[in-house]
Structure 1
Amino acid sequence: MTETVTSEDTAELLPEFPLRFGEEESRTDGALAYAHLATGDPVTRVRLPSGRPAWLVTGYQEVRSVLTDARASRQAAARSDGAQVLAVERVGTSILTLDPPDHTRLRRIVGRGFTARRSEALRPRIAEMAGELLDDLAAGPRPADINEQFCMLLPVRVICELLGVPLGDRHRFEAWRDALIAPTGPDRPFDAGAHQALLAYIGELVAAKRKEPGDDLLSILAAAGQGPSDKDDALTDQEIVALGGTLLVAGFETTVAQLGLCLREILGRPEGLLSVPTERTELAAEVEELVRRLPIGNFGGTLARQATEDMEVGGVRIRAGEVIVAATQAANFDPAAFPAPLDHDPARDNGSHQMAFGFGVHHCLGSPVARIEIQEALLALRTRFPDMRLAVPDEELRFVPGAASRRLERFPVTW
C-alpha cells in the first residue's frame, strides 16, 4: 500500500482540478487530456478550486471501486467546506448529493419515469420532434447555427414534454442552469438566488399538477405518497420540488453538449453524415462509442465524494475526511479497459461498461432517454441533410467559456 500525505501548506503545489486545457485542447474535444490522465498513476493528488487537496481517481477499475463504495459519500462532500467542484454540489437537498437510504427511496420513485420500456416508448415522439426542428431549419437561412436551432432545442423540448414544463419558459431555466451547473470556487460564489427561483418555479408547477394532473413526470412526483396505500412512497413537498428542479436542470445540459460534440465529430469525417449507420443496432453502437470517446466535461464526469472512514483505492490509502474525485471520463480512456482508447471502434463492447453516464447508484437516470435522443437526432440529420457540412473552418469553433460542459458557442452549418 502506498501512503501519500499532502498537507494544506503544500496544496498550492498540486496540479489544479478541474482540468485547465491548453489552447489546442480548449479548441478540440478534450480526449487527449483525459487519455493522458488515464495513462498515469490511477490515484493522484490534485488541488480543487477552493484550494483544498483531493484524490483524483482515473483508472477504470479504481473509478468503479469508488463509485460502488458506500464509504465514498456524496452527501458528506456536499456538506464539507471546499469539497465541491460544481455549484450544484452545494444543494444538499438534491438527489445528486444524497446517499442511500434517502437516495434509494427518491430514485425508486422518480425512476418510474425513466424505465427502459417508458424511455423506448418515447422514441417515436423524439423522432417526430427532431423532424419538426429540421423542418424549421430547412425553411430558414443558410448558414444556420445547428447548435442553437437543433442541438439545444431537441433536448430542451424532450425534457419539457417528459416533465410537463412549458417550453416557453426555456430561457428562464436555461439561466438557472448556467448558475447551478457551473464550476465553483472562491471567484465563483454559489448563486442562491438562482436556486431559490428554480425551486419557486417548480413549486408553482407542482401545485398546478395536483389540481390538473397530466401524463408527465411532475404529475407522478406531485402524486407520490398522496394515496392511502402509498406511505412507502411519501415525498415531502421539499423533496418533490428539489427532485423536479434537479431533473429539469440536469435533464438537457449534458445531452446538448454531447449531441454537439457527436455532430462535430461526424461532420469532420470525409463522408460526413452518410457515415451514420441506419440499422438500429449499429446506430446504438456508434453512439455508445461516440459518447465514450468525446468527454463533455472539464470536471471529470462525476461529483466529488468524501471518505467517511479510511479506505484503500488502487493501493493508496485515503483517510477519513479526504475528498475523492472519480473521473469517469478519464476511466473511459484507460487502455486496460479500452485498448487503443483514442481510436473510434463501434465494435467495442461499450454498452455494458463505458462510464460516460456514470456508474453505481448515481448512474444517470436519464441515460436511456439521452441515448435515444442522440440516436434519433443523428439519424434524422442523415436522412434530411446528408450533405450537411461545416460553414466555417473547424478551428474557428469555440466552447462556451467557463461552463462545466463542453458546449459549443456557435456551430454554423450549411447544406
Structure 2
Amino acid sequence: MTQTCPLPEFPFVRSSALDADARGIELLGDAPVVRARYRDGGELWVALGNEAARQVVTDPRFSRHAAVEPDGPKIGNAVPDLLISMDGKAHLAARRLFSKAFTPRMVENMRPWIEGLVGELLDQVERAGPPLDLVEHFTAPLPVSVICQLLGVPYEDRGSFMDWTDRMLGDTGYTPQEIGEGIGNLRNYMRDLVAAKRAHPGDDLTTELIHVRAAGARLTEDQLVNNLFLMLGAGHDTTLKQLSNSLLLLLTRREEYARLCERPDLIPNAVEELLRYLLLSPTGMLIRVAVQDVELGGQRVRAGETVAVLHHVANRDPALFACPNDLDLGREDAIKHLSFGAGPHFCLGAPLARLELATALTELTRRLPGLRLAVPPQEVPWKEGGLQRGPLRLPVEW
C-alpha cells in the first residue's frame, strides 16, 4: 500500500480520559482500518471501525498466541499461559476450567456482600463529611475489597499489590525494569497464595480453581498462577478507573447525575452507556498477529502482520451507534459496546464489573443526591503515565 503522508504514531494520544480519542475518531472518519507506526519504528494495522474490531477479536485467523511468542511483536508486556494470550483448543480447554469455578452464580451470590460493603463505605463517607476525596474513600476501596474477597487475598496486602499493579499497567510512568518487577512481584505473590490455599483451603475462587476439573483435566500451575495474578492486578484497577471516571463525567455534567437520582431504573443501562463512552482498559495493547492473509475493513492484512484493536474508538462508530459522541444514559443499544471484548475472549469478569458499577451508582445516587465536585473539573488531578488514565483524587461535597 502506497503512503502519501507519514503514518500516525500508535498509541494515539488521548488528551483526557473523559475525551474521545480525537485522533482515532478522525482516522475512523477516513477508514475503518488504518496503517500506523509504533513508537519503536515498527508498523501495524489498527482496527477502528466496530465491524472490523469485532472481526479481529472473533476471527481465529488473528492470533493472540502468535503475538506473545518470543519472536512476536514487542508491544505491551507479554505473559504466557494467560487466557487472553491463548487461542483455539488450548484456550477453550483452559477457559472451560475457569468458567466452571468463576460462574455468574458465584458473582450473583456476592451481591448481598457487595451491597453491604457499598453501604459501609458510604456510612464512612457520610461520617467523614464534605469535602472529601471520593477516590480514597469509595472508588478505590470498593473494587480492591471485592477482589480480595473473591480471591481470598488478605486486605492488608492491598498496598503492595496496588503498587505492583501500577507498575504492571505502567507505560511512560515506569521504566521497563520497574514494569517487569511489578509483574514479577504480582506473580510471586499469587504463587505463594496458591501454595497457602493448597495447605489451608478457603471459601474463595483461588481454592475453587486449584481443585476444578473438566473432562479429567485441570489447570497447570502456570495457568493458575498467571491468570490469578492478572485477576488480582488488572481486575480491581479497571473497575476503579471506570467507576472514578464515570463519576467524574456524571458530576461534570451534573444534570446527568441528577437524572439518575430521579430515575434509578436507568442505572443498569447507564452502566452500559458509560462503558461504551469511557472505555479505559488497555485493550489496544492486546494486539494480534494474522496467521494467514485476511481481508479486513477493505485492507489486505498479510500473514505475520500485527493488528491492534481500539475498542474505545469502535464504540464511537457511527455505523453502529447514532450520535456516537453524545452521552445518552437511555441509549437502547448501548450494550452493543465492545468494552468487554467479544467472542471466545469475552471478559469473564464482566458480570462482576457490572454488579459493582451498578451497585455503586445506585447507592450513591440514593444516599447522596446532592453530590457535586468540590473543585472545577479542570482542577481534578490525574494519575498519569499508565495505560489507563483516571483521577488521582476526586474532591466532592454534598
Which residue, out of 197, 219, 223, partners 1:209? 197
Using a 3 Å threshold, how does the CA distance of structure 1 residues 186 and 246 change in structure 2: closer, same or farther?
closer
Task: Write out aligned runs for 1:64-75 (5 A).
Answer: 64-75=54-65
Q: How many residues align?
A: 398
Which residue does the alignment assign to 1:391?
Answer: 374
Indicate if the aligned counterparts of 1:143 and 1:412 stay in contact, CA closer than 8 A. Answer: yes
Q: In angstroms, what is the RMSD of aligned CA positions?
A: 2.5
Q: Distance between the aligned counterparts of 2:17 and 2:186, measured in 1?
A: 32
TM-score by length of 2: 0.92
Compute the displacement of 1:294 (Å).
1.5
Which residue does the alignment assign to 1:177?
Answer: 165
Indicate if the aligned counterparts of 1:309 and 1:319 stay in contact, CA closer than 8 A. Answer: yes
Q: Distance between the aligned counterparts of 1:67 and 1:252, measured in 2?
A: 23
Using a 3 Å threshold, how does the CA distance of structure 1 residues 112 and 275 change in structure 2: closer, same or farther?
farther
> Which sits farther off after the overlay, 210-219 or 118-127?
118-127
Which residue does the alignment assign to 1:86?
Answer: 76
Task: Write out aligned runs for 1:234-383 (5 A).
Answer: 234-271=218-255, 273-276=257-260, 282-297=266-281, 301=284, 303-350=286-333, 352-383=335-366
1:33-70 Cα shifts (integer Å, max 9, x gaps) = 55434323111111123321000110111111111111
Which residue, out of 122, 127, 143, partners 2:131? 143
> Which sits farther off after the overlay, 324-333 or 74-83?
74-83
Q: Distance between the aligned counterparts of 2:212 and 2:123, measured in 1?
A: 39
Which residue does the alignment assign to 2:41?
Answer: 51
Indicate if the aligned counterparts of 2:102 and 2:205 stay in contact, CA closer than 8 A. Answer: no
Indicate if the aligned counterparts of 2:173 and 2:384 stay in contact, CA closer than 8 A. Answer: no
Indicate if the aligned counterparts of 1:66 and 1:326 stay in contact, CA closer than 8 A. Answer: yes
2:272 maps to a residue whose letter is E
Q: Distance between the aligned counterparts of 1:345 and 1:175, measured in 2?
A: 35
Task: Write out aligned runs for 1:216-235 (5 A).
Answer: 216-225=204-213, 232-235=216-219
Which residue does the alignment assign to 2:103?
Answer: 115
1:114-140 Cα shifts (integer Å, max 9, x gaps) = 433332232222111111111122222
Indicate if the aligned counterparts of 1:332 and 1:355 stay in contact, CA closer than 8 A. Answer: yes
Q: Distance between the aligned counterparts of 2:278 and 2:173, measured in 1?
A: 26
Q: Distance between the aligned counterparts of 1:102 and 1:278, measured in 2?
A: 48
2:385 maps to a residue whose letter is G
- SS in structure 2 of the partner of residue 234 of structure 1: coil
Which residue does the alignment assign to 1:41?
Answer: 31
Q: Distance between the aligned counterparts of 2:297 and 2:68, measured in 1?
A: 24
Indicate if the aligned counterparts of 1:184 and 1:190 stay in contact, CA closer than 8 A. Answer: no
> Which sits farther off after the overlay, 31-40 or 253-262?
31-40
Using a 3 Å threshold, how does the CA distance of structure 1 residues 112 and 102 change in structure 2: closer, same or farther?
same
- SS in structure 2 of the partner of residue 346 of structure 1: coil
Indicate if the aligned counterparts of 1:206 and 1:241 stay in contact, CA closer than 8 A. Answer: yes
Q: Distance between the aligned counterparts of 1:165 and 1:5, measured in 2?
A: 53
Indicate if the aligned counterparts of 1:333 and 1:342 stay in contact, CA closer than 8 A. Answer: yes
Indicate if the aligned counterparts of 2:167 and 2:174 stay in contact, CA closer than 8 A. Answer: no
Q: Distance between the aligned counterparts of 1:275 and 1:285, measured in 2?
A: 13
Using a 3 Å threshold, how does the CA distance of structure 1 residues 255 and 84 change in structure 2: closer, same or farther?
farther
Indicate if the aligned counterparts of 1:114 and 1:368 stay in contact, CA closer than 8 A. Answer: no
Residue 118 (structure 2) pairs with residue 130 (structure 1): yes
Residue 389 (structure 2) pairs with residue 400 (structure 1): no
Q: Distance between the aligned counterparts of 2:101 and 2:338, measured in 1?
A: 22
Using a 3 Å threshold, how does the CA distance of structure 1 residues 108 and 187 change in structure 2: closer, same or farther?
same
Q: Distance between the aligned counterparts of 1:184 and 1:224, measured in 2?
A: 39
1:144-194 Cα shifts (integer Å, max 9, x gaps) = 111122111111111111111111111111122112222389964573333
Which residue, out of 71, 77, 81, partners 2:67? 77
- SS in structure 1 of the partner of residue 336 of structure 2: coil
2:107 maps to a residue whose letter is S
Residue 50 (structure 2) pairs with residue 60 (structure 1): yes
Compute the displacement of 1:108 (Å).
1.3
Q: Distance between the aligned counterparts of 1:344 and 1:145, measured in 2?
A: 25
Using a 3 Å threshold, how does the CA distance of structure 1 residues 27 and 159 change in structure 2: closer, same or farther?
closer
Indicate if the aligned counterparts of 1:130 and 1:154 stay in contact, CA closer than 8 A. Answer: yes
2:181 maps to a residue whose letter is G
Q: Distance between the aligned counterparts of 1:168 and 1:309, measured in 2?
A: 48
Unaligned runs of 5+ in 1: none
- SS in structure 1 of the partner of residue 325 of structure 2: coil
1:184-212 Cα shifts (integer Å, max 9, x gaps) = 89964573333232222112211221222
Unaligned runs of 5+ in 2: none
Compute the displacement of 1:142 (Å).
3.0
Q: Distance between the aligned counterparts of 2:382 and 2:39, measured in 1?
A: 20
> Which sits farther off after the overlay, 76-85 or 322-331?
76-85
Q: Distance between the aligned counterparts of 2:13 and 2:335, measured in 1?
A: 30
> Which sits farther off after the overlay, 189-198 or 129-138?
189-198
1:102 maps to a residue whose letter is A
> Which sits farther off after the overlay, 66-75 or 116-125?
116-125
1:259-292 Cα shifts (integer Å, max 9, x gaps) = 0111011112344643215767521111111110
Using a 3 Å threshold, how does the CA distance of structure 1 residues 27 and 285 change in structure 2: closer, same or farther?
closer
Which residue, out of 7, 16, 20, partners 1:14? 7
